Amino acid sequence: MRDLSRPRLLAAFLGLCAVGAVARVVLDAGVLVPLLGLVAIVLTVTVARAYKPGDPPRRAWVWLACAAWLAVGGETLHAIIGPGLATWLMALSNAMWCASLLDARRKIVAGALVPPLARPWRWALAAAVLVGLAVAFQVASVVRHGSPVYPTITGPRLYHLGFVQLCDAVVLVAGVWLLGALHPLWGGAAARPFLLVTAAAGIFAVSDLIPLFVGLPLPRLWIRGLIIGGWSLLGVAGLAQLELRRSMFARTADLRASLRALGSQR
């Protein structure tokens, strides 16, 4: 299989990051609607063009696309009318974000004979679980004492913040678990889209842990940068899946052409 175009994916990542950075500066309150909108469109196109109904990973991308659109709606409502309904939309977005990876692993494992996790993936899963436990510790601290980064957030919004952070941890663990099952089946380029999704979860989890390091300068700036990077990676994951599908079609077309050429020589 032809390798995915890394320069194009890198260019897409940098472009999406630039959109997110400009949105943070121009839209005052830091609303990421332009970036989220682009990511939602990319993921929707991924669902429409990369898979047919019934393909095992399709529903995972449907969940991801829905999560992105809910995030667009939540951020937009937050900018217009403030928290309230926006908080519920963002909570539902994060729940779908979790469902996407859990559903993908269930579908892939159910549709193939998956060997036990190789030792490197067992270590990676253990590391992801440790990060998840650290995030859970951070959530417990936030719920009890409030957020050191967002001190004005109190009450139900504090629980919402904790729920979002726990979702990031669940996606990280589920993503590493999925990759451990996926890599022996297809490996290489075929695993890259979900690797990027898992990397996005890892970035979000790191952003959740930054408040633990109170000595970091400008922690909110670091968190904003990581969130922009995480959402940008999700968009690139969709593009990687489209590129993978295009490569698979090209490979199939080349194989058919070769078979036709062999048949005509007989």
Distance CA 93, CA 112 (A): 29
Closest by Cα among 9, 5, 2 to 196: 9
Whether the Cβ atoms of residue 3 and residue 195 lie closer than 8 Å to each other: no
**pLDDT given for residue 28 in this prediction:** 54
**pLDDT given for residue 256 in this prediction:** 45
Q: How far is CA 39 from CA 154, 226, 265, in A?
A: 30, 16, 48
Residues of the chain with confidence (pLDDT) below 70:
1-4, 26-31, 56, 108-115, 148-153, 184-190, 211-220, 247-266
Amino acid 42 reads V
**Residue 245: alpha-carbon gap to chain centroid:** 19
**pLDDT given for residue 159 in this prediction:** 80
Helices marked H in the chain: 6-26, 33-50, 58-81, 85-110, 119-145, 156-182, 192-209, 219-264
Q: What is the DSSP letter of 217?
A: S
